[in-house]
Amino acid sequence: MAGDKTVETTGLIGWIDRRFPLTSTYKAHLSEYYAPKNFNFWYFFGSLALIVLVLQIVTGIFLVMHYKPDAQFAFQSVEYIMREVPGGWFIRYMHSTGASMFFVVVYLHMVRALIYGSYRKPRELIWIFGVGIFLCLMGEAFFGYLLPWGQMSFWGAQVIVNLFSAIPFIGPELSIWIRGDYVVSDATLNRFFSFHVIAIPLVLLGLVAAHIVALHEVGSNNPDGVDIKKYKDKHGRPLDGIPFHPFYTVHDIMGLAGFLIIFMAIVFFGPEMGGYFLEFNNFIPADPLKTPPHIAPVWYFTPFYSMLRATTSEFTTVLTGLVGLGAILMFIRQQGIMKIISAGALIVVAVLLQVIDAKFWGVVAMGGAVVLLFFLPWLDHSPVKSIRYRPGWHKVLYGIFFANFLVLGYLGTQPPSAVFNLMSQIGTLIYLGFFFLMPIWSTLGTFKAVPDRVIFHAH
């Protein structure tokens, strides 16, 4: 019987089992791990993210064999990989395309968590580990961006590192410490290489392992947001669950096949993706004496880069007014000592918005837009998890949020202008307002009744 723990394995597997929990681990995480039977298209992206991570590690190992982390030879070594190493161009394009596809997959994975409430109790820790993975990916991508030592690599790193100088008191020294020099130089390249190849991948692998272990401890969410452990058969197996293997391994293989078709089409026919995956300026060696006309990060950073650029002195004045209004509402709505503390804190923030330079608040907006995600499980007060059972206008709100994020991403790729800057400022307010006002709007409206068991139609 599948659930019988008394059956002992024999032969080589039995020898291993008596020394290492091979069979029990396989059962706990695959053959006897019961997942909801109503998974849909959105549940491809978790396993795809793991596969792309493996792809990045493997291709990265082969690239490191020929890459030289030296400012004098870095660009030439990349060209050598592309032109002289057998299959080098293929490995390099798989790695560069994989970096962008990693973010595509992770963003879609996060969208699924948002719409189905996969961050809600008891899965808060899974979400926190996931956001930690997202932050590590951003760091990994940023450090790896400098390594080709092209024009956009050099100047992009210069712009981003210089942002830290806006931090009061410690900013200038911090930016020098990050660079290892007064300008982006060989020292910067070496330390970025170390972080990209050793430090961050180790943290990333640890977070991925913690993410999976936490997931398998509490079980997977589903599109209905129903706990499948509530109803079990006489063997203790969830009535609305099926073993992950073989059912979802086959399901994920189908998703992988579709993903690989798209992935390989990009690698072979459009690895630059019109300059979004690989910028054309990055095929020019880094020149500290020649600044590109428009410096922008890679597309997966551009929504947050838009928020950075949107935060001008005029914008902080608007924010000051909104924070002041929030302080007044807090004072009216809350009671006792809490209203004084909350309103006082907001007044302090309003004062700081006017005292400290707008450039610093741009850095805060850019970083805070990501850090806010950590608090999502405690910001959402909705009585239901899944968007299926929320009011219709909630779905519209989520649609506006996702569309706004895409618009911010596009604006971040464009040269600054008055119109685009205004659009970025509106987009930033929408993004921040979505989260800061979530404790209020997530409780409003008429919610549908959530079924006791998952809704599943065989197909």
Give pLDDT tens digits for 301-324: 999 999 999 998 888 888 888 888
Q: Round to whole Å and give the CA distance between 395 and 347.
A: 33
Instruction: Provide the CATH number for the domain around residue 414.
Output: 1.20.810.10
Count Cβ atoms within 10 A of the Cβ of residue 91 and give its class: 0-12 exposed, 13-18 middle, 19 or more buried.
Answer: buried
Q: How confident is the model at residue 186 (pLDDT cuts 50, 70, 90)?
A: very high
What number is the average pLDDT over the span 96-119?
Answer: 96
Is residue 109 annotated as involved in ligand binding? yes
Q: Are residues 146 and 59 in the same domain?
A: yes
- Cβ count near 231 (within 10 Å): 14
Q: How far is CA 317 from CA 56, 306, 313, 323, 357, in A?
A: 44, 18, 6, 10, 11
Task: State the pLDDT at residue 333.
Answer: 67
Q: How far apart are the first and last CA of the chain?
A: 28
Lowest mean pLDDT among 22-36, 102-116, 206-220, 372-386: 22-36
- pLDDT for residue 300 is more than 90: yes
Residue 214 lies in a domain: yes
Count Cβ atoms within 10 A of the Cβ of residue 254 and give its class: 0-12 exposed, 13-18 middle, 19 or more buried.
Answer: exposed
Question: What does the DSSP 8-state code read for residue 418?
Answer: H
What number is the average pLDDT over the span 175-194?
Answer: 92
Q: How confident is the model at residue 335 (pLDDT cuts 50, 70, 90)?
A: low
Is residue 29 annotated as involved in ligand binding? no
Q: Are residues 325 and 213 in the same domain?
A: no
Is residue 235 annotated as involved in ligand binding? no
pLDDT tens digits, residue range 237-296?
A: 888 899 999 999 999 999 999 999 999 999 999 999 988 899 889 999 999 889 888 888
Q: Are residues 238 and 222 in the same domain?
A: yes
User: What is the full DSSP assignment across 203-261?
Assistant: HHHHHHHHHHHHHHHH----TT---GGGSB-TTS-BTTEEEIIIIIHHHHHHHHHHHHH
Residue 139 lies in a domain: yes
What number is the average pLDDT over the span 365-382?
Answer: 94
Task: State the pLDDT at residue 28.
Answer: 87
Q: Tell me if 224 sits within 8 A of 450, measured CB to CB.
A: yes
**How confident is the prediction for the chain on average, in pLDDT?**
90
Half-sphere exposure of residue 48, counting CA atoms within 13 Å on the CB side?
Answer: 28
Q: Are residues 102 and 88 in the same domain?
A: yes
Radius of gyration, CA atoms only, the chain: 25
The domain total for the chain is: 2
pLDDT tens digits, residue range 113-162?
A: 999 999 999 999 999 999 999 999 999 999 999 999 999 999 988 888 88
Q: Are residues 245 and 381 in the same domain?
A: no
Q: Are residues 350 and 433 in the same domain?
A: yes
Is residue 196 annotated as involved in ligand binding? yes
Task: State the pLDDT at residue 212.
Answer: 94
Is residue 251 annotated as involved in ligand binding? no
Q: Are residues 67 and 107 in the same domain?
A: yes
Q: Are residues 318 and 229 in the same domain?
A: no
Q: Are residues 252 and 312 in the same domain?
A: no
Among 291, 326, 343, the domain-final residue is 291
Residue 155 lies in a domain: yes
Residue 209 lies in a domain: yes
Structural domain boundaries, residue 348: 296-445
Task: State the pLDDT at residue 2.
Answer: 44
Q: What percent of the chain has pLDDT over 70?
A: 96
- Cβ count near 23 (within 10 Å): 16
Q: How far is CA 328 from CA 65, 159, 339, in A?
A: 61, 38, 10
Q: How confident is the model at residue 347 (pLDDT cuts 50, 70, 90)?
A: confident
3-class secondary-structure state, position 22: helix
Which of 7-11, 28-32, 237-241, 404-408 is predicted most confidently?
A: 404-408
Residue 48 lies in a domain: yes
Q: Are residues 136 and 150 in the same domain?
A: yes
Residue 267 lies in a domain: yes
Lowest mean pLDDT among 2-11, 42-51, 359-368: 2-11
Q: Are residues 269 and 134 in the same domain?
A: yes
Residue 225 lies in a domain: yes
